[in-house]
Amino acid sequence: MDPFKLTQKERASSLRLAGEHRKLKTLAKGRSRAVLVRPLVRDRAQPEEGRRSLVGMYDYSTNRSIVAVVDLKSEKVLSVEESPVQFQLAPEERKEAEDLAAKDDRVKEFLGGRDMNPLTRLYFPGSGSEEVRKHRFAIVFLRPTNSERRYAVVDLSAQEVADVLTPQDMMPQ
């Protein structure tokens, strides 16, 4: 058993147990998803009976990260807490951001029928209201050729493209 990887069964159990926990249901009231499911490794020689997982959830309606620690042997959730950090984007979030970007008229015009060849990452906007900056954002690098670029800023909380930036927009002022 690799201490740094979860089996499919462990991953499924972690998600199920965290999702069923009363405190997580209280904290994640709206649209949410698991964005992180990883083994919680204290040391390399961790015995199987001490095997735990970490489940990171994001609640888009309240713009909060929530973390659950699951004991895989006893199948119990040991803790559920709000976290002040945002985890990296889950594959489903990257796909959602890319799908939203692909539907945007500004992106369609720039691409002109060409492939997006996207590269998508978590994004923290430097401007906007404090409330909007709490949202979960992705930036989709649109790369139809080796020299052409645009950047679709996607607000995953609002499920919309917030802006499409040019390379000049990305330069320090």
- Total domains in the chain come to 2
Least confident of 43-47, 49-53, 77-81: 43-47
Q: Is residue 3 part of a domain?
A: no
> Are 160 and 96 in a shared domain?
yes
The answer to whether 98 touches 120, Cβ cutoff 8 Å, is yes
Q: Which range marks the domain in which residue 105 is found?
A: 91-170
> Are 136 and 66 in a shared domain?
no
Of the candidates 49, 64, 83, which is a domain's last residue?
83
- Output the pLDDT for position 146: 95
Q: Is residue 118 part of a domain?
A: yes
Of the candidates 29, 52, 83, which is a domain's last residue?
83
Of the candidates 83, 100, 123, which is a domain's last residue?
83
- For residues 66-93, average pLDDT: 93
> Are 73 and 144 in a shared domain?
no
Residue 49 pLDDT greater than 70, yes or no: no
The answer to whether 64 touches 85, Cβ cutoff 8 Å, is no
**Of 39-43, 47-51, 134-138, where does the model show the most confidence?**
134-138
> Beta 137-142 vs 119-123: how paired, if at all?
antiparallel
> Are 108 and 74 in a shared domain?
no
> Are 67 and 28 in a shared domain?
yes
Tell me the two tokens of residue 46.
Answer: 């961790």
Residue 133 pLDDT greater than 90, yes or no: no
> Are 79 and 95 in a shared domain?
no
Q: Is residue 2 part of a domain?
A: no
Neighbour count for residue 12 (Cβ, 10 Å): 12
Q: What is the pTM of this model?
A: 0.85
Q: What is the pLDDT of residues 143-169, one digit of tens each?
A: 999 999 999 999 999 999 999 999 998
Q: Is residue 135 part of a domain?
A: yes
CATH number of the structural domain spanning residue 77: 3.10.450.40
> Are 99 and 163 in a shared domain?
yes
List phi, psi (to 5°) of 70.
-115, 130
Q: How many residues comprise the chain?
A: 173
